[in-house]
Amino acid sequence: MKFFADTANLEHLTELTELGLIDGCTTNPLIMAKEQHYDFEAHLKEVLRLIKGPVSIEVTTNDYDEMIRQSKEFSSWGKNAVVKIPMIKDGLRAVATLTKLGIKTNVTCCMTTKQAVLAAKAGATYMSLFWGRISDLGVNAKQVVDETAEIYARHNIKTEIIVGSIRGQTDVNEAIKRGAHIITIPPNIFMDMIYHPRTESTIKEFLDKWDAFVKSNPMNKPKQEDN
């Protein structure tokens, strides 16, 4: 199981890297817009330098020729760059072309097992199923991930499954139990995963007891001077 950070925020990525929690990161146009960095290239080059694992950078067009142009540019920014391509007809065409060029791809916005299979067939390095958005449709996201993982394993498909659109700890808990290779998680949810009130109170109890023990040690009491 690998964890990616679903963010382009350098401060958050630095913290998660120092904690040793992430194996890569994913971005998209919405994530980039939230960062308010208008020098798109400079910012993502910083992310690529910071993160040692795969960094997904999404194209900002649905036009085939422009997807190919952007993909070539993005992939030149770092060896760990992965180009995110939308799950549309021209997107699959682009993935097939980019695969022949040796450019790594991540087919994004997949909602069904059928789409996941098509992405793999086109040659995607990664394929992203959107857990939260699948659930919004009234569809069982667990079943979609399980079916996809089973099909990939049965047919020895090398494409790695990323589960994204994670909205809370419950989503993480459920997704971990599925057959995905990677879960991409927003930074705030990582922090929520670390904290538990019972953990905090237990740690405090241990430290308080130790502090009381140390203070009760006779060797720590000041010696009385002889008259």
| Confidence tier at 1 by pLDDT (50, 70, 90) | confident
Structure tokens at 170: 């419950």
Say yes or no to pLDDT of 30 above 70. Answer: yes
Q: How far apart are CA 115 and CA 185, in angstroms?
A: 22
Task: Give residue 218's pLDDT.
Answer: 80
Say yes or no to pLDDT of 182 above 80. Answer: yes
Structure tokens at 97: 């072309």
Q: Tokens 């499954």, residue?
A: 161
Task: Give residue 226's pLDDT.
Answer: 58
Residue range 96-125: mean pLDDT, rounded: 98
Sign of CA dihedral 181, 160, 29, 22: positive
| Confidence tier at 126 by pLDDT (50, 70, 90) | very high
DSSP string for residues in 132-189: HHHHHTT--HHHHHHHHHHHHHHTT--PEEEEE---SHHHHHHHHTSS-SEEEE-HHH
Task: Give residue 20's pLDDT.
Answer: 97
Using one digit for the tens of pLDDT, what is the confidence trace for 148-169? 999 999 999 999 999 999 999 9
Higher pLDDT, 225 or 171: 171
Question: Which residues carry out catalysis?
Answer: 84
Task: Give residue 223's pLDDT.
Answer: 63
- Percent of the chain with pLDDT strictly greater than 90: 92
Using one digit for the tens of pLDDT, what is the confidence trace for 31-88? 999 999 889 999 999 999 999 999 999 999 999 999 999 999 999 999 999 999 999 9
Structure tokens at 190: 């990582």
Task: Give residue 43's pLDDT.
Answer: 96
Residue ranges and CATH numbers for the domains of the chain are: 2-219 (3.20.20.70)
pTM of the model: 0.92
Please, what is the average pLDDT of the chain? 95
Residue range 194-220: mean pLDDT, rounded: 92
Task: Report helix, strand and coil shares of the chain as percent, to nearest 5.
Answer: 55, 15, 30
Residue range 83-100: mean pLDDT, rounded: 98
